[in-house]
A and B are shown apart, each in its own frame.
Chain A
């Protein structure tokens, strides 16, 4: 393996700036003449706006503009959109209320944007925003799923019963028949707790209008600057697409929350024009992030599994109610549907599966994709259901999984919920994980813990995800409003240095390193001669951004395709220079060679000839710069087994994760160090969901978990070090690299393993987050039951 090639643990090139304080995040950018925006947000979950008294602050020191929903309407700006149309069972399109940039007529959640104040300094804007008098008439609020259905209050008057869609997937008749004939049915109700993403960098945006060119620049915390540009131009009407430059500089984590097009970035651009072109900067305070970033998860489900007497799965039936908050965020509709129910087969050959999903509006923050997006909900449901079935039938949890895995020789495998898995070897990852976790030695460890007064448990989770999002024709047929290809450009300079321009966006994933490794390997160019550029619509080719573990599998493949074009063109040039037939030229290790001879030209010589075409093929364009698009033929299907071992303190219900093993099949791996890091981070988000995190609103719709004082983020001492294996790969067949994607796996697989371990320790399942009090109560109720 070359030092910087595929499979090498190359330290990241981006790190130098981050470890020396030279990263450049949106809030680090300051512009001459910059002004500051502060948003006035609704203190009520649901209220009619009787009036906004702008005169109350217009003359305050430094105030340059006060804008509200009426101004948005007067200037003809469009509403925020949901980019994926989901249809209900009856064929009708999902029902949506408008999502204005600034509230018009009504506010629908605590934190809803009512107005913006722009002032000379941040403190002045803050002072004026606080002083702005808004007259509200409070309305009854719908604060959770339990209250949404049949509520007297409607979040949007046009959406009856607050029901956005009632969607289904699968063969209901076949499932019902299988259940009717089943030997055993396992049934459970479960909650997938609402989470708040909490990227460490709060959202921020700077809008700059240049009257000289009638063009805008927007710097913002975006995972997908081109998608922002598209929506802000085509739907909001901030500016025509060619007059809007969107820059996502260094971005401090996203986890989904920075995919979406929010009102704030649109408003700062518009406001910059309103005040004559001075830049307008907005940076969220963390409290604002809690209120207004799109939240994740929030499902209540009923799940049933039908089994035969040997523990073979016959059918699965799931009903899910999904809380989508007060407005339909950008991709909110596909999360509890196409990213969720399509994964309900898991790693198993369950022949019949049916799922229906009711999505509701509530007076809470919008809910959208958060790391894993739909797939963690599916995986958690399957893996807890399977464990429950194993417990009821007296089968070892590993055995029931082995018995039902899709066998390694059954690929490609068509599931009953639409997907075709290309490759996998689920038994192999399970066995490796069990070995690494010393599953066989667990009874002895449990006995030893018992002597110390602790309840020890072990839990498995065999997750699968659909990544590499996504084949455009497939998602288009399912309602997506966009194509999900990716693009790249590979540009050589005279001196053989390489710029790689990608439409993906790196906000922690290390693309600048991984993509350079790809090119170094493919073209034989020194790693240090390659620069990866992303995040600026003015520099990079059109792209769709980073989410759904897609950057390498889709964006990386676009780079590979551009490299193929470089090689193809290089062959023509080399053939000319070497006076050989093009078909006889081979490219390897950075050299074009006439097959079977020692006649060769280095790539650098060929590139130089392309820019100084003095001796050059007459019919060939000069230059060495090639672009490519890649639209994947299928999703990728990373899968793996996680094993969690916990010790529970029965006196308090405290859960200590004492051991955690992750064995993942990500296909081929470019940089194992980076991939392991992605797993570690995902695991802690999954453990956070299982043990610590949960967004809570009170009965009036006030967010109770609105700061780190109340929203429990995982800290270093909440988690152990992990045993992670990422080399258990079956190569993916949907791209030439054989890669599957690794960004979301940890968050998808971990919750099931943690909860199953706790169930194993204390004998009954606790809903997430499994706080000490819940666990203590569960143990306590067990004792009571045993005493009866």
Chain B
């Protein structure tokens, strides 16, 4: 039993890391630019599609990674340039609706170009198989690799934001936008960079998720709404909150999905109904977690300073 728990914690950590890559971008873009971007999930989808197509065309997952990153970042910069730039001075409502329009557009474009059939990506040969991390417990190398890469990206992001000149500008832009502008910093360029960085992280999450999920239209919104839960639980605008919130939500969600069927089968006589209901309750789990956090700390667990 305890081995199963360890395995599920690792699975949860892997989901959490993926959620972090999205939540970090979303919360940076909101914290610094004041933009709520529903199309963030679309950038994740674009990354996943570009990665899947590159992998199936070249047979190399190593080429899939830059393809996904490039596609997501290019789409992100284009979106910022054409639409988002006009939304900085608008209220949240306009931002929500315009980016909702973007989601409709991207989903339909992808389904026109690549159809509604999901794409599947093979796990790269180098990372396939599993290793025994504790005696008796074998765990997928690929999932371990995602956890490792995701955590190092989190560390890299920390260094970038806390210890570089660009990071200093980003932090200053979040709290004192007008002052930064008055000091002669090209804030437009800064915004485009931040948006591109967010798109890059989302695209990377998409490429990494490709071999684990089916790559299909609508995958972006599924994870976007969970990312919202992460941002609310962690605290809006806080990278630290995004990290801890993502890991908490990822582990909690995975645990609910893994252990809810056992619990419900004990309570209900009808097996198939118990399974369906436990799947539903497990999907509801993270939202209930969010409700509890809201009751205790409406600002989130790790609110941004300032």
Query: Is the A/B pair a real complex?
Result: no
B interface vs A, CB < 8 Å?
none
